[in-house]
Amino acid sequence: MPVMHFQVRWPDNSETLCYSPSLVIKDFLKVGESYKMEEFLELSSQALHIASERVREKYGFGCSQAMDQLAEIQDKAVGFSNSNESKVTIVSFKE
């Protein structure tokens, strides 16, 4: 299963390198696009759940790293919850 990393720029201009066990993340997020926080959280959640399920189908168990990554994304997003205009930009994909 091809592993994918995606670089995210948060509203404070800090960046995080995120993990996905599947290329499915490319179906949900686009490099150079900025997403409102709520949309980014929803798209990330959908993609990482699908990625985890793909691991389950192949190996018989879900991907705990994908779920850990989702939790990290959600935790980081809490710091920006005061602004409805907070946006997250997808900087790059690294295969």
Q: How confident is the model at residue 84, as a pLDDT?
A: 66
- Total number of residues shown for the chain: 95
Q: How confident is the model at residue 18, as a pLDDT?
A: 98
Q: In terms of C-beta density within 10 A (0-12 exposed, 13-18 middle, 19 or more buried), how is residue 53 classed? A: middle
CA distances from 34 to 9, 21, 57, 67 (A): 9, 23, 32, 23
Q: How confident is the model at residue 79, as a pLDDT?
A: 85
- The string of pLDDT tens digits covering residues 15-65 is 999 999 999 999 999 999 999 999 999 999 999 999 999 999 999 999 999
